[in-house]
Amino acid sequence: MSYLAGKNKIWKGRHGPYLIAEIGGNHEGDFRYAMKLAAQAASSGVDAVKFQIYTGADLVNRRISPDRYLHFRKFELSLDQYVSLAKVCRGKGAEFIASVWDMDSIDIMDPYLNKYKIGSGDLTAYPIIEKIARTAKPIILSTGLATLSEVLATVSFIKRVNSAYRDGKKLALLQCATLYPSPESEINLEAMRLLADKTALTTGYSHHAEDPLALDVAVVMGAGILEFHFTDTRKGKVFRDHKVSLTRPDVAALIERIARIKSIMGRRVKAPTAAEMSSGHVRSFRRAVYLKRPIDPGRKLTSGDLVVLRPNKGIDSRDYYKLLGKKLMRKKEALSELSWRDIR
């Protein structure tokens, strides 16, 4: 649809943009609920279902941020459970991808991951990024919190770590605002275009707003990837991410809108449409040159003798000026259709 998406098959989605349903922490540490969400997301028509793989101890300094540490501890799942989630997603035709937030988990989960996601908070976590880059698998990098120079530095770092990324095909960037929910005034989708211009990488949008409008705008702008949080229902939920999440009916509606947007945007050509041609409007809407009054043979035509009217039959209105000063070869009545055979 646009240069943001490019022609890279790695990020080609079934419906246009590569669609990622982010479960994240919406399971709140409940494995059965995580399985339910994974099954619903994977069967919703998305291309991939995403989780966050971590332990609180490998993510947060419990001495400095004890409350945050306990929050992540509460939301932990085991690696065996993530393997089960991967199998559910794959079994329903969706890729399983993840932000893996500790190095040991990368080794264990790598066989189940075709792509890696690096969240905004880890854009500067070079040791973790290096280990992921050593896998040579495609990487999606979220850019919330980051300046352009920081994004470019991380992209350069990844390319230095592994030559597999140097042509850019295995790298993608997401514009993101790390607020839950994100105010619309801070979504800044123009940054998507800036990132695409500066890196020539597939670029998309990670959605954290309550209203899905930004997803539609991103599609119009040519986003190659759309990531959004996913839940079964927003009703009665306390954890913040549910508020910015799409449900299965929301995803279906988004996919329908994507199809409509693609149809409306059309192709990069300018020509009459098939319907315009079959309707006859090219002739009936356009004008031809006609005589205002009866004209005798031999008289030179002036602007006072001619008028341009619908339909376009005879001499096209674009040839109006060619008729001035010409003579009629035979007598013609007012509003008669003209032919070049009548002119000398």
Kindly report, residue by residue over 54-97, the tens digit of the pLDDT: 999 999 999 999 999 999 999 999 999 999 999 999 999 999 99
| Alpha-carbon distances, residue 116 vs 95, 111, 160 (angstroms) | 11, 12, 18
Q: What angle do CA 307, 310, 311 make, to 5 degrees?
A: 125
Q: Are 5 and 224 in contact (CB under 8 A)?
A: yes
Continuous segment of H or E residues that includes residue 175: strand 171-176
Q: Model pTM?
A: 0.91
Convert the pLDDT of each residue in 134-181 to its tens digit. 999 999 999 999 999 999 999 999 999 999 999 999 999 999 999 889
Closest CA to 116 of 55, 45, 164: 164
Residue 270 lies in a domain: no
Residue 272 lies in a domain: no
Convert the pLDDT of each residue in 13-43 to its tens digit. 999 999 999 999 999 999 999 999 999 999 9
Residue 100 sits in a domain whose CATH number is 3.20.20.70
Residue appearing with tokens 């989960």:
109
Residue appearing with tokens 């043979």:
297
Residue 321 sits in a domain whose CATH number is 3.90.1210.10
CB atoms within 10 A of CB 193: 17
pLDDT category of residue 237 using cuts at 50, 70 and 90? confident
239, with CB counted inside 10 A (0-12, 13-18, 19+), is middle
Query: What residues contact 78, with CB distance under 8 A and at least 6 apart?
Result: none
79 shares its domain with 23: yes
Range of the structural domain that residue 322 is part of? 279-342
238 shares its domain with 336: no
